[in-house]
Amino acid sequence: MADDASRAGDRYASADILDWCADTHAPHDAGLAQAFDARGAGLPPIQVGPSEGKSLGLLVKMSGARKIVEVGTLAGYSAVWMARALPADGHLWSFEFDAKHAAVARKNLDAAGIGDRVTVVEGAALDTLASIESEGPFDLVFVDADKKNYPHYGAWAAKHLRPGGLLIGDNAFLFGRLLEDSDEAKAMRAFHEDARAHFDTVCLPTPDGLVLAIKK
């Protein structure tokens, strides 16, 4: 597209503006603050930001999702946002490879008051997703784990989401490396392109890109 065709590509968001907006729209209570502090629990601080977390919660509410699958739990921060947005009879199954991360997340989810609405499933998600397939079809799948397996998680979502269900993928810009000639970049591009075949899709320009897709 011609550079002068639109101002839509200009970036006006400074760090101060982004912080002000997060504080205004996505403030933390004690439960969110505890789950956000992955580093304090000895985990890597790689959770979504507050504005992305709030966006996930709003997407749960807007879509009326009742059955959610998350791939990549970490300390449970995105899970707290999504589970709190569920109706009383809703459930979130969150898949986590690392036993320490899963233990921290369970503690944080209990502290946030939604432990009964979330099941943290331990192990490599490609091996464990099958264990919940009888609970499907699902309303929303959030993918935020090992990047090389994104195409597999997308394919699982295409199969196990209901028509109209949402697929959301974090780190869709692959830390800025999306267009490189690496296996991880090829996998992330395949995730985008495969999603387009089965979903109505967009990639939202969050700090690291968020694919948002509705199952056809």
Using CB under 6 A, list all residues that contact ligand SAH: 46-48, 71-74, 77-78, 95-98, 101, 124-125, 144-146, 149
**With CB under 5 A as the contact rule, which of the stretches 52-60, 101-109, 137-145, 178-186 interacts with Mg ion?**
137-145
Contacts of Mg ion in 27-86 (CB under 5 A) = none
Q: Which stretch binds Mg ion (CB under 5 A): 91-99, 124-132, 147-155, 165-173?
A: 165-173
State the nearest-atom distance from the C-beta of 163 to ligand SAH, in Å: 25
Q: What is the dihedral of CA 68, 83, 38, 73, to 10 degrees?
A: -20
Residue 198 contact, options Mg ion, ligand DHB, ligand SAH, none, Cβ 5-8 Å cut-off depending on partner type: none
* Number of residues near ligand DHB (by CB under 6 A): 5
Q: Does residue 38 contact residue 77 with C-beta atoms inside 8 Å?
A: yes
Kindly state the smallest distance separating residue 116's Cβ from Mg ion, in Å.
26
Read out DSSP for 111-179? Answer: HTT-GGGEEEEES-HHHHGGGGGGG-SEEEEEE-S-GGGHHHHHHHHHHHEEEEEEEEEE-TTGGGTTT
Within a 13 Å sphere around the CA of 171, how many CA atoms are in the beta-carbon half?
A: 21
Residues 25 to 84 in contact with ligand DHB, rule: CB under 6 A? 46, 72
